[in-house]
Structure 1
Amino acid sequence: MIDKFTLFLPHILMAIAIWRLLHRDDLDDDPSLPSRKTPFRQPREPGGEKPDA
């Protein structure tokens, strides 16, 4: 039981950390690059629908 716990706990914690990092809004922003005129992702309207292109 202890062996399984010590094996699974670090992997679960790493999976949670990766999950949280992938869902950050600033993940696609690179401060060393000049700013773009159009954002990488289009912001969504408060209604949850995609804006018309």
Structure 2
Amino acid sequence: MIDLFALALSHGLLLLMVLRLMSRDDLDRDPLAPGEAEPPR
């Protein structure tokens, strides 16, 4: 029972981490280098 709980807890936390990372908007954009202009869209 403890092994199943530990497995479910660790995988649940990993799933939560992935969902929170995927919902971030700043992961889709690379930061600009100093002196670099904004690229056209």
Q: Identity, % of aligned pairs?
A: 45
Gaps of 5+ in 1: 39-53
Residues 1:13 and 2:23 are matched in the alignment: no
Q: Which residue does 1:2 correspond to in 2?
A: 2
Distance in 2 (alpha carbons) for counterparts of 1:20 and 1:37: 29
Summarize deviations over 1:22-44 as a string: whole Å, max 9, x none: 11011111115653211xxxxxx
Task: Give TM-score scaled by structure 1 length.
Answer: 0.59
Instruction: Give the count of matched residue pairs.
Output: 38
Distance in 1 (alpha carbons) for counterparts of 2:18 and 2:32: 23
Larger helix share, 1 or 2: 2
Deviation at residue 20 of structure 1 after TM alignment? 0.5
TM superposition outliers: structure 1 runs of 4+ over 3 Å:
32-35
Q: Which residue does 1:31 correspond to in 2?
A: 31
